[in-house]
Structure formats: C-alpha cells, structure tokens
Amino acid sequence: MSAPYVIDQMISAKAIAARIEALSAEIAREFEGTSKLVVVGLLRGSFVFIADLVRELDLPVEVDFLEASSYGDGMESSREVRILKDLRGAIEGRDVLVVEDIVDTGFTLHHVTGMLASRGPARMKTIALLDKPSRREVDIKADWTGFEIPDEFVVGYGIDYAQRNRNLPYIGKVRFV
C-alpha cells in the first residue's frame, strides 16, 4: 500500500478545457486538407485528454491506441520503455498525431515516435497535455504542449498514481503526508 497523500489542485478543469480548445484549432490548421488524421493515444494516461481533444477537432479523425510503459506503479521512470499494446491499424502514408499525457524524462515519447516514424507516416506530429522540461533526459519536445509544469508528481485527468486518481477532472499535485 502506498503512503498517505493529499492532492492539491494545480490546473483546473476549466483551464484544461480552454487550452484544449485553443490547441485543437492549431492542430486543425496544421492538418487542414487531410483525408483522415490518425490520432494515436498513448495509454493509459492520455485517454481523457484524447477524448476531449478529438471532440474539439474539426477534422476527419480515426483513433487508435498504443500502450507503452516506463513507470509501472512507481513514481520514477524505469527508463526502459515497453510496448504493451501496439496499434491495430497501419499508419504508412497517413497523417498521424501522437497524443501523450505527460513528457517527463522523454524516454517514452522518443521511443514511440521513433518506432512510429519507421512505419512511414506521411506526417507525424506530437502533442502532450503536460511537459516537465526540468526532468528531460532525452532531447525531445512535443510539437504542442498544453501546460508546462514544475517537477511535481501529478495525477488527475487520466493520469494516475498506482492506478488511482485518474477520474479527477483537474490536474493535481500529489503531496505525501
């Protein structure tokens, strides 16, 4: 069992919704004219973000998922990225948007984008809800970022701590008591 903790709100549900609306307009401009945008969600943390994002996109979209893990139930990245679930569909010659919940060390996004690039998409861009640049160990940055945050352990809006707190409508900082 994990140590007792409390959650302090960092980013409100209202702020997240407003940012997603702005980001979706930028993404729609970038992919204007696409026959179909394949939106690839990195499970599990991005599922809430991807749902809200695709509802705001004024583009024809197809949604697929990839599950990668570098954390397990811990608070620190293992730096070893494992693919637990691959895409169901092909992305060769297609426009792709990779959706990540949080870019921390950068290992997961770097590994996944390298793997997907080898499959020959026409265009591939990335978006992350959260970015912790102070933790970066791999030189990678998402094309779009919702919010830059300090080096805090966060939960909510799909992001968990040992499979808990995904259902919070906001992003909160975990504080152990």
CATH of the domain at 17: 3.40.50.2020
Number of domains in the chain: 1
One pLDDT digit (tens) per residue for the chain, 177 residues: 467 999 999 999 999 999 999 999 999 999 999 999 999 999 999 999 999 999 999 999 999 999 987 755 555 555 778 889 999 999 999 999 999 999 999 999 999 999 999 999 999 999 999 999 999 999 999 999 999 999 999 999 999 988 899 999 999 999 999
Domain that holds residue 141: 13-154
**169 in a structural domain:** no
* Catalytic residue numbers, as ranges: 104
pLDDT for 80? 78
pLDDT for 76? 56
**176 in a structural domain:** no
CA 156/CA 166 separation, integer angstroms: 5
**6 in a structural domain:** no
**29 in a structural domain:** yes
Give the three-class secondary structure for 142.
coil
Check if the beta carbon of residue 152 is closer than 8 Å to that of residue 165.
no
**105 in a structural domain:** yes
**8 in a structural domain:** no
- Listing DSSP states for 75-96 in one string gives SS--S--EEEE--SS--TTSEE
**140 in a structural domain:** yes
pLDDT for 2? 66
Burial of 141 (0-12, 13-18, 19+ CB in 10 A): middle
Helices 47-56 and 13-30 meet at what angle, rounded to 10? 60
**175 in a structural domain:** no
